[in-house]
Amino acid sequence: MRAVVLCITLAALLPSGVGAQSLLLTEPEALARLSPVSPRVRAIQAGMDIARADVLAASRWPNPRLTYDRESVAGVTEHMAMVSQVLPIWGQRGLEVHAANALVDASRGRVDDALRRARADLQLSFAQLVSAQVRERELISAGDRLRGLADLLAKREAAGDAAGFDRLRAEREVLDLDADRAAASTDRARAQGTLAGFFAEAVAPETIIAVDASTAHPPLPTVATLVERAESERGELIALRKEVEAARWSLKAAERRRIPEPEIVAGTKTSTVGGGDTGGVVTVHATIPLFDRSKAERALAEARASQAAARADAFRATLHAEITGLRAAVIERRDTADRYRAAAVNTASQIEHIAQVSYDAGERGILELLDAYRTGAAARLRHAALDASVRQAEIELEFASGWEMPQ
């Protein structure tokens, strides 16, 4: 019902030519437009292809080598044609594949986090658009009320029942509200452009209208519950764990490098001695790990494992503090918005009515009447800003914890 009322109000405020072409979207509908074919999503997922290419590189076999040799001494000519092949039989290649696959999983975790960040940024843009629309509507409504007052004062002035100062002061107030409305209109256009940048298909930004269909604020889980969910859901933490796993596989692969991998050489040898003859050639090569004993590779793998583990510990500590702060911010902002609504917004219309009656009765001056109108408009604008701050804190808490607020 709230969404229907908002749509009717927006249609009444927009020009008829624009309203017919408007694209009304709720937050879930806006999120649905952040599809896999969106340029932003495709750019985020492209990192996975690079990680998968590393798996292909680790799993490939070394190419065979072809050698041809011709020797001619004292009338004797010999030809040798040989093919050599390194045989990775000690498991180093398989360990490197495991390490590369773990890095693919790490990349997948970071991609998931980046996609969730994109969704959160879209939600923030949507909340900014809702707030800008509310401010613009309130300023239009306040301007219309004061414009009506200025017109009434002009008629009273012409009849000799009001002073010219009252009319001029009301018109000045209208000018100030029109300037504030123009600023709010600029904020709305900027939010529309930002929101349109998330969509897969091209959308005229000026046609987007955000429909605030939010309901009562749901209760928040405890900090412990949110942290537990974050540690199982956050892609960055999953990625760091996978990097530790990849480093351990790399360390095992480096230790296997100290075991020489044989290189088998097979071929034929032809000689002109004694009328010529052809025989076979078989050779086995092996690298002696005398100077290079994979010390650098093992040190690098150990350093990477230690770095990833330390970063994971730091991320968990930061995550706990961040979730605690965001949850407290959501609760405080909700309470502040509710108190302000009860204490200021709900009484704004009464203050305006009392001031209008008192002015008509000659008990108060124009400045007091305009102050009442200004106070009422400021209360509604402040409440819109408080609602926007509540939603922003909720979105950041959802991203940090991985918990999604029920719609």
pLDDT recorded at residue 320: 93
The answer to whether the CB of 188 falls within 8 A of the CB of 127 is: no
Closest CA to 55 of 109, 98, 88: 98
Rounded to 5 degrees, φ, ψ at 397 are -65, -40
Mean pLDDT, 10 residues at a time, the chain of 407 residues: 44 44 88 86 86 86 91 85 90 89 92 92 94 91 84 77 76 86 92 90 89 82 93 91 92 87 90 79 87 86 92 92 95 92 82 80 79 85 91 94 82
**Planar angle of CA 301, 303, 305, nearest 5 degrees:** 70
pLDDT recorded at residue 313: 93
Angstrom CA distances, 51 to 65, 217, 234, stand at 29, 41, 19
> Which conformational region is residue 362 in: left (phi greater than 0), alpha (psi within -120 to 50 degrees), or beta?
left
Taking the C-alpha atoms of residue 239 and residue 233, their distance in angstroms, rounded to an integer, is: 11
The answer to whether the CB of 183 falls within 8 A of the CB of 195 is: no
Domain made up of 2-401: CATH architecture: Up-down Bundle (1.20)
Global confidence as pTM: 0.79
The separation between CA 85 and the C-alpha centre of its own chain, rounded to angstroms, equals 49
Using CA atoms in the order 381, 382, 387, 389, what is the torsion angle rounded to 10 degrees? 120
Closest CA to 180 of 374, 10, 392, 12: 374
The answer to whether the CB of 227 falls within 8 A of the CB of 319 is: yes
Rounded to 5 degrees, φ, ψ at 272 are -90, 0
pLDDT recorded at residue 13: 45
Taking the C-alpha atoms of residue 41 and residue 305, their distance in angstroms, rounded to an integer, is: 30
Residue identified by tokens 């930002």 is: 194
Taking the C-alpha atoms of residue 333 and residue 329, their distance in angstroms, rounded to an integer, is: 6
The answer to whether the CB of 243 falls within 8 A of the CB of 304 is: yes
User: Given 3-state DSSP classes, what are the helix, strand and coil percentages for the chain, each rounded to the nearest 5?
Assistant: 70, 10, 20
Taking the C-alpha atoms of residue 310 and residue 305, their distance in angstroms, rounded to an integer, is: 9
Per-residue model confidence as pLDDT tens digits over 390-401: 999 999 999 999
Residue identified by tokens 């800003």 is: 385
Rounded to 5 degrees, φ, ψ at 269 are -130, 130
